[in-house]
Structure formats: structure tokens, C-alpha cells
Amino acid sequence: QVHLVESGGRLVQAGDSLRLSCAVASRSFSTLTLGWFRQAPGKERQFIAGINTWPRRSAYIEESMEDRFLIFRDNDRKEVYLEMFSVKPEDTAVYYCAADEYGKSNARVVGDFGYWGRGTQVTVSS
């Protein structure tokens, strides 16, 4: 079982930076593939970034977001983070943390992840 709780979402202004956190309860945290998605009203859930540890630790970010988003994990704290830079109003969404217990590399679609948090709201004002 994996339990995820996101935090850090809030109202920010365009151009600000923001860090989201996800606390992960799991006996096998170090082998999980972890990801961040977002969902805006009326839109499908969108992949942002993922990070896995096998065969080696690697992070990957959706190409259109590579210049403004960063993902990293702390295996000691059992947390994964999404760092957002120069946020825009179109970044407004509920942001979700997700986990894949099988450690898939390059997991990018909703179906790759078996566990989800409840989300944290990010609102960017112009």
C-alpha cells in the first residue's frame, strides 16, 4: 500500500515560484516511481514530471514544461517535490502526486500509476 499527501498549493501571482511537496507512506519508497500530474477544470489530467530509481535514478519532464518545472525526491524524508518557476495563469490546476509500486521507468500516463494523492490546488493570478 502507498499513501500520498500533497501540500504547498496556494494562490500565487504570475511570475512567482512555488514548491509542491508530496509525503509518501510506503515501505518501499526508494523503489517507487513517482510522478506529478495536474488537472485544470474541464480538462484531462496532464503529466508533468516523473522520477524513478531503477535502473538508475532519473527524472524526466514533459517537454513543454522543461524550462519551468523541476522534480526531485528525498528518500530519507520519503517525499517528492515539484518546483515551479515563473508560473503563469494557465498553470492554475489541481496538482496530483502519483506512485507506481513496480518502479516503471519513464512512466508518463495516468494508467502507469496505481496510487494517487487527493491533490493540492494551485491558483495563479495575472
pLDDT of residue 43: 97
Q: Name the 3-class secondary structure at 98.
A: strand
Closest by CA to 107, choosing from 71, 66, 67, 60, is: 60
pLDDT of residue 56: 75
pLDDT of residue 87: 98
At residue 5, what is the residue type?
V
Instruction: Confirm if 115 and 97 have CB atoms less than 8 A apart.
Output: no
Segment-wise mean pLDDT, segments of 10 residues, the chain, 126 residues: 97 98 95 96 97 84 95 94 98 98 91 97 97
Q: Kindly report the length of the chain.
A: 126
pLDDT of residue 37: 98
How many Å apart are CA 6 and CA 8, to the nearest integer?
7
Peptide bond into 89 cis (omega under 30): no
